[in-house]
Chains A and B, each alone.
Chain A
Amino acid sequence: MNNVILVNLPFIVVALLLAVGFYTIGFKRNLIKVVIGIEILEGAVNLFLIALGYVKGAYAPIYTMAPKEAVNNMVLPTPQALTLTSIVIGVAVSALMLAFAVNIYRHYGTLDVTKVRRLKG
């Protein structure tokens, strides 16, 4: 029983982080907090990808200087490559969102999403 929880711990954390992220996006009023919520979601998804690729006792997928016993016992490199790409994209997204937030603060004088509502109808 205990072992099952330990093995699945990363996935439980992913589920928790997803819930926290969606809660933050949906219910927080400060724009910066909404951005942080998206960052939490991104962390959850990245953790999920990394946890998928992990194999107990396997070797990191670096082919040069790999020891003999690593042959046929390496983790797949794809999830790690996916995660690196996703992190890079995430940095771009969060930078752009924060830039928008700064610009919104300059024009509206507030970051409260319930007050940033000139567009309606």
Chain B
Amino acid sequence: MIEHLPALMIAVPLFGAFIAPLLKKKGSAPAVWAVIITGVTLGMALLLVRQVLAQGMMVYVFGADKPTLVLPSGYRVPVRIIFEVDAIGAFMALSATLMSFIGALYSYSHVRNETGLEKYYALLLLLEVGILGMVLTGDLFNLFVFLEIAGIAGSALVGFRNYRGEASEAGIKYLIVSAVASLMVLFSIGLLYGQYGNLNIAYLSTQISFNTVDMIALGILFASFAMKCGSVPTHHWVPDAYTEVPSGINPTLLVATYASLYALFRVSFSLFGNITVNMSSLGWIMSILGVLTMFIGVTMALVQKDVKRLMSYHAISQTGYMLLGVGVGLAVLNDPAKLAAFGRDAMAGGIFHIINHIIYKSLLLMTAGALFYVTGTRNLNEMGGLARKMPYTTIAFIVGAAAISGIPPFNGFASKFLIYETSYQLSPIFAVFAMVTSVLTLASFVKVFASAFLGPPVKKYEEVREVPRSMVIAMLILAALCILFGLFPNVVLDKLVYPAVDALLKLGSYQTWGGLP
């Protein structure tokens, strides 16, 4: 049972996605079904994490006599589709399943009055399948297929409110970006396949000699995944997509974005990890992109009037922190002394920031969704005095805003502090930009808090009440996670994050499986 977990992680949500449309005429049955399926997947992800942390990397070969049999007798190269789950893959899978569960729970009330809900939940589950496939696979072509699944499901969800023209506009933007990015990924997969005749990441990484064609492939892969994870200069689709998507999907869509970030790390550290020369410059490029991303994102956020759009620009800016943290680690990858001194901690900061950011940004976008649910507008200038009417939403918003601004003892502080400390040692300018970005983040959230929750009550909203219970539960779970991760960062770091960092750093253990010569 345990050895089949990587396959079941895909199979269960896929099964759920195909069953969901059959529940069309049963009222809220699709919602309950989605909560059950995502809950089961979350349980399996927890088992998977436990197994991977205890036993090391899991390899699952589809269609083999035994799921762990990598090389059939007489073969010198791996054939068949192979899933390889190491600590970082398990970490991302846990984030994805957790966020899908919370999203399904929140959607139960949030989109109850819309039509076509069975399709909504089917797409939500398909999006989860796409993310899980991306983070668990060890095969380049599979990565492309799941990237497309996540892209199609995600953009269909962005355009879910099809009675609004804006939703279709944001949806086609997201779809064009993801289609172009994944076609270019396929192109560079073709380049690599043409030279080495294999698609397995671990096998390819032992073979790569870094000639000109490899360099082109690396450049295209890097650019495409950076485009899909919303880094500057191709960040324009992020605010539109995050604003128009229903708030229940936001957590899953965030993880879908970070699955691309994961693919970027996988390409830089595992696929091209053997090359000793150019990785340091790639690390510098990644760090500089990170700094630009965080700064441009936050300055664009400051001037927004739409509450969800403001938070979406912050999502861009926070992606910059992850790029900076992992970029610092990549820049000193081939320098053991510096890597031990600050590189490993920088990467831990970057990867810890992924889960922290997913938690608090989902929380913030959900409070924005709650504001939209009760007021019917997202314009900050039309809101006011909602704190007394919606106490739980207000508490959730304060926790989220404090966490994103890096105020102790919330979780944003723990990861941001690691990034400040370590990026300072690579170049002080990076750390200065990171801190300035934090201050500006706080400033813009003070603006949101003052205009939406404080101030004189607006007459139009005298009748509003707190949002329904399932939305409150979803928000409070996330707020509790924010505080827990902030109070006990060491537990999360030791149990989840450092194993994930080591999985990225130790290329040798990723390459040696199944007795490959």
A and B, one complex?
yes
List residues of chain A with CB under 8 Å of any chain B CB.
Answer: 18, 25, 31, 34, 38, 41-42, 44-45, 48-49, 52, 76, 78-79, 82, 85-86, 89, 92-93, 96-97, 100-101, 103-104, 106-108, 116-119, 121
Contact residue among A45, A52, A118 (Cβ-Cβ distance under 8 Å from B165):
A118
Interfacial residues of chain B within 159-175, with CB under 8 A of chain A in the complex: 159, 162, 164-166, 168-172, 175
CB distance from A35 to the nearest CB of B (A): 8
- Residues of chain A within 8 A (CB-CB) of B240 are 119
Cα distance, A49 to B172, chains bound together (Å): 27
CB distance from A48 to the nearest CB of B (A): 5
* Interface-side segment among B176-184, B258-266, B274-282, B357-365: B176-184
Mark interface residues in B114-158 (1 if CB within 8 Å of A CB, else 0). Answer: 000000000000000000000000000100110010011001100
CB distance from B31 to the nearest CB of A (A): 24
Cα distance, A76 to B144, chains bound together (Å): 20
Q: Given A89-B148, A96-B156, A96-B175, 9 more contacts at CB 8 Å?
A: A31-B172, A97-B179, A100-B168, A100-B171, A107-B168, A116-B169, A117-B169, A119-B239, A119-B244
Contact status B186-A25, CB under 8 Å: no
Contacts A118-B166, A121-B304, A121-B305; A96 near B186 (Cβ below 8 A): no
Q: Which of A76, A79, A96 has the largest number of chain B CB atoms within 10 A?
A: A96
Cα distance, A54 to B193, chains bound together (Å): 13
Is the C-beta of B187 less than 8 angstroms from some C-beta in chain A? yes
List residues of chain B with CB under 8 Å of any chain A CB.
Answer: 141, 144-145, 148, 151-152, 155-156, 159, 162, 164-166, 168-172, 175-176, 179-180, 183, 186-187, 189-190, 193-194, 197, 199, 239-240, 243-244, 303-306, 309
Contacts A103-B168, A116-B169; A96 near B306 (Cβ below 8 A): no
Contacts A89-B148, A100-B171, A119-B166; A48 near B243 (Cβ below 8 A): no
Cα distance, A34 to B165, chains bound together (Å): 18
Contact status B193-A79, CB under 8 Å: yes
Contact status B169-A85, CB under 8 Å: no
- Residues of chain A within 8 A (CB-CB) of B162 are 103
Nearest residue (CB) in B for A14 is B187
Nearest residue (CB) in B for A46 is B186
Contacts A82-B141, A89-B145; A121 near B309 (Cβ below 8 A): yes
- Supply 9 A–B pairs (Cβ within 8 Å), ascending by A: A31-B172, A38-B180, A48-B187, A52-B194, A82-B189, A93-B179, A107-B168, A119-B169, A119-B239
- Residues of chain B within 8 A (CB-CB) of A93 are 148, 151-152, 175, 179
Q: Which 6 A-B pairs have the closest CB atoms?
A: A107-B165, A100-B172, A103-B168, A52-B194, A89-B148, A119-B240
Contact status A78-B193, CB under 8 Å: yes
Contact status A85-B305, CB under 8 Å: no
Cα distance, A103 to B187, chains bound together (Å): 31
Cα distance, A104 to B194, chains bound together (Å): 40
Contact residue among A38, A78, A104, A108 (Cβ-Cβ distance under 8 Å from B176):
A38
Nearest residue (CB) in A for B305 is A121
Contact status A86-B304, CB under 8 Å: no
CB distance from B10 to the nearest CB of A (A): 16
Contact residue among B175, B193, B194, B305 (Cβ-Cβ distance under 8 Å from A100):
B175
Cα distance, A101 to B309, chains bound together (Å): 23
Contacts A82-B141, A103-B162; A96 near B152 (Cβ below 8 A): yes
Nearest residue (CB) in A for B79 is A78
Cα distance, A79 to B194, chains bound together (Å): 9
Cα distance, A18 to B166, chains bound together (Å): 30
Contact residue among A79, A104, A117, A121 (Cβ-Cβ distance under 8 Å from B172):
A104
Contact status B303-A48, CB under 8 Å: no
Q: Which of A76, A101, A121 has the largest number of chain B CB atoms within 10 A?
A: A121
Nearest residue (CB) in B for A89 is B148
Cα distance, A119 to B171, chains bound together (Å): 12
Cα distance, A34 to B175, chains bound together (Å): 12
CB distance from B297 to the nearest CB of A (A): 14
Q: Which of B156, B165, B243 has the largest number of chain A CB atoms within 10 A?
A: B165
Contact status A100-B159, CB under 8 Å: yes
Contact status B159-A41, CB under 8 Å: no
Contact status A38-B305, CB under 8 Å: no
CB distance from A104 to the nearest CB of B (A): 5
CB distance from B446 to the nearest CB of A (A): 20
Contact status A42-B168, CB under 8 Å: no
- Residues of chain B within 8 A (CB-CB) of A38 are 176, 179-180, 183
Cα distance, A1 to B194, chains bound together (Å): 23
Cα distance, A96 to B148, chains bound together (Å): 12
Contacts A38-B180, A79-B193; A101 near B305 (Cβ below 8 A): no
- Residues of chain A within 8 A (CB-CB) of B193 are 49, 52, 78-79, 82
- Residues of chain A within 8 A (CB-CB) of B186 are 45, 49, 82, 86
- Residues of chain B within 8 A (CB-CB) of A107 are 164-165, 168
- Residues of chain B within 8 A (CB-CB) of A42 are 183
- Residues of chain B within 8 A (CB-CB) of A48 are 187, 190
- Residues of chain B within 8 A (CB-CB) of A96 are 152, 155-156, 175
Cα distance, A116 to B172, chains bound together (Å): 11
Cα distance, A76 to B166, chains bound together (Å): 46
CB distance from A93 to the nearest CB of B (A): 5
